[in-house]
Amino acid sequence: MARFYPGITAALAEFIGRQHLFFTATAAAAGRINLSPKGLETFRILGEQRVAYLDLTGSAAETAAHLKADGRMTILFCSFDREPLILRLYGRGHAVTPLHAQWDELSLHFQDIPGARQIIVLDIDSLQTSCGFGVPRYQFEGQRDDLVSWAEKKGEEGLRAYRSEKNRTSIDGLPTGLD
């Protein structure tokens, strides 16, 4: 049932393109493991072994802290429609902030979304599919606009202040690099 791939195939890229939700998982050597759901059409395939997603300002910054401390990351896509499938992307990631040299090049791949704080890039070591037979079916109704509305109301200055207060360290005290 499980199958490993060295890179993203055309069929897997098509599968990824149909998904409205993905999950990211990271961890440092000690402390909590972080697992986060992501949406808002922020995921991009940059090559067979490289992907990225636009990360928006939120209440925590665990992914940035874990990538800075360790680098390991898994991204999971899971089909909730007729055809069951789970896809895991394993690799090493890093965060690119607006002050980083790569920002201008990478940001061209994404829509301008209020609250964007970093782009997470994953260099893929391997990919694995599994059946997903035990995953229930759900129907997609639409993306939530709450986070974007919140960021618009905060404005750039308010977002900077919020990130300075809430996103400088992880919940385990690790630095995020988002100062």
* Segment 23-75, tens digit of pLDDT: 999 999 999 999 999 999 999 999 999 999 999 999 899 999 999 999 999 99
Its pTM stands at 0.95
Q: Which two tokens stand for residue 48?
A: 């067979």
Chain-wide mean pLDDT for the chain?
96
Evaluate if residue 1 carries a pLDDT over 80.
Answer: no
Question: Which pLDDT does position 158 carry in this prediction?
Answer: 96
User: Quick check: 25 and 73 in contact, CB under 8 A?
Assistant: yes
What Å distances lie between residue 62 and 24, 97, 121, 161, 167, CA to CA?
11, 15, 15, 18, 9
Domains and CATH numbers, the chain: 3-166 (2.30.110.10)
Nearest residue to 4 (alpha-carbon basis) of 82, 90, 71: 90
Question: Which pLDDT does position 178 carry in this prediction?
Answer: 87
- Rounded CA-CA distance 127/174 in Å is 28
